[in-house]
């Protein structure tokens, strides 16, 4: 099996004591030759038992190595892993994820024969806790009404060229060609990197029979906080990237929230505002109920008719409000930068 490429799997993590063992176990259970595999866990100086868990696995499995990430952010962890990796193929893994036994073999095999620069599979979102709210959150994050045309989430039926995938299996040389992950992005670095790859002529292939399971937040407050921050980082990358760093679907919740707020403000001075609010709210409500009914029928669970509309609106409003705050911060950044340039020009003159 020496003709198989050496594969380096890179796992950024921080305080993932509850999940990192499951992730490592699924990778070690893969049918890819262990002498052609290394697993790099890049830890952001965890304060729980994460490092102990990884150390115990590393004692039994020499393919596992624990690396330090003093910056404690995901893109820095990825770049540390890339620089330390020995593999010709690099797989980006998440500590909250587990994979099937053929995952690595399928990723590598597809990468070698497809002409793609990056290969990924569909993400099956799994709740951390099997309660109604947790299950509803997972289902909303896997439905087109919830996440738009994010094909790795809504599950394409056949191989498809896409703008991004979850995780990803990369040819090593692309990092020499287009650079590393953007360390100014606390979130959204995968999307931005894959869009840079696309802009440079690279290709990302989504393959439905490659499956990765991702454990999402099941607690409602944690879900809302995470969604809000994701919304913020749908806009802030415009400050730190030289390309358009997001897809159109990431801006839809912002448009929705701005429409709601505008119609509410307008309603205080004109009946037109009430009509606009009714049109936006009514259209959204109808679509939400249709999507919820579709999920409830598919899952044969009537309770989803009541839980899922609430989760949908929480998802879109929290994300949109986060994006609105990101827009404010972005405007402040550019205004501040413009003021500094003006002062510098004034000094020169």
- pLDDT > 70: percent of the chain: 95
Domains, the chain, ranges and CATH?
7-218 (3.90.550.10), 249-348 (no CATH)
Q: Match 């992950």 to its residue by tokens.
A: 181
- How much is the pLDDT for 267? 93
SS3 call for 3: coil
Packing angle of the helix pair 220-232, 132-140 (nearest 10 deg): 20
DSSP letters for 120-181: EEEEEEEESS-SHHHHHHHHHTTSHHHHTT-HHHHT-SS-EEES--SS-EEETHHHHHH---
**CB-based contact 224:253 (threshold 8 Å):** no
Which element (helix H / strand E) includes 45? none
Q: How do residues 5-44 score in pLDDT, each as one tens digit?
A: 999 999 999 999 999 999 999 999 999 999 999 999 999 9
Residue 275: pLDDT above 90?
Answer: yes
Q: How do residues 193-241 score in pLDDT, each as one tens digit?
A: 999 999 999 999 999 999 999 999 899 999 999 999 999 999 999 999 9
Q: Is 45 left (phi over 0), alpha (psi -120 to 50) or beta?
A: left
Q: What mean pLDDT do residues 133-138 have?
A: 96
Q: How do residues 139-161 score in pLDDT, each as one tens digit?
A: 999 999 999 988 888 877 899 99
Angle at 119 between CA 203 and CA 208, to 5 degrees: 115
Q: Cα(189)–Cα(236) distance, rounded to whole angstroms?
A: 11
Q: Cα(146)–Cα(164) distance, rounded to whole angstroms?
A: 17
Q: How do residues 71-97 score in pLDDT, each as one tens digit?
A: 999 999 999 999 999 999 999 999 999
DSSP letter assigned to residue 269: T
**CB-based contact 43:50 (threshold 8 Å):** yes
């Amino acid at each position: 099996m020496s003709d198989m490429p050496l594969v380096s799997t890179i796992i950024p993590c921080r305080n993932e004591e509850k999940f990192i063992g499951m992730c490592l176990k699924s990778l070690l259970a893969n049918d890819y030759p262990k002498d052609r595999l290394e697993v790099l866990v890049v830890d952001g100086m965890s304060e729980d038992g994460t490092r102990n868990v990884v150390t115990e696995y590393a004692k039994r499995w020499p393919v596992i190595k624990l690396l330090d990430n003093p910056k404690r952010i995901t893109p820095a962890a990825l770049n540390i892993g890339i620089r330390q990796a020995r593999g010709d193929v690099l797989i980006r893994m998440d500590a909250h994820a587990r994979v099937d036994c053929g995952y690595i073999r399928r990723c590598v095999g597809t990468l070698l024969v497809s002409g793609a620069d990056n290969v990924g599979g569909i993400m099956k979102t799994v709740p951390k806790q099997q309660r109604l709210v947790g299950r509803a959150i997972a289902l909303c994050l896997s439905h087109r009404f919830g996440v738009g045309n994010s094909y790795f989430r809504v599950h394409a039926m056949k191989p498809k060229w896409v703008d991004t995938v979850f995780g990803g299996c990369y040819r090593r040389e692309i990092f020499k060609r287009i650079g590393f992950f953007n360390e100014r992005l606390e979130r959204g670095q995968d999307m931005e990197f894959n869009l840079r790859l696309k802009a440079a002529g690279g290709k990302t292939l989504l393959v439905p029979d490659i499956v990765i399971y991702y454990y999402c937040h099941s607690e409602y407050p944690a879900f809302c906080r995470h969604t809000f921050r994701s919304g913020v980082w749908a806009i802030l990358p415009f400050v730190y990237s030289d390309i358009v760093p997001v897809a159109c679907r990431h801006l839809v919740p912002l448009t929705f929230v701005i429409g709601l707020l505008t119609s509410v403000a307008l309603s205080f001075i004109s009946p037109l505002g009430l009509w606009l609010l009714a049109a936006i709210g009514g259209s959204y409500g109808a679509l939400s109920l249709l999507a919820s009914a579709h999920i409830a029928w598919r899952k044969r669970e009537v309770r989803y008719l009541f839980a899922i509309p609430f989760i949908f609106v929480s998802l879109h409003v929290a994300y949109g409000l986060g994006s609105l705050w990101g827009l404010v911060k972005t405007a402040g950044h550019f205004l501040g930068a413009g003021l500094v340039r003006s002062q510098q020009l004034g000094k020169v003159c």
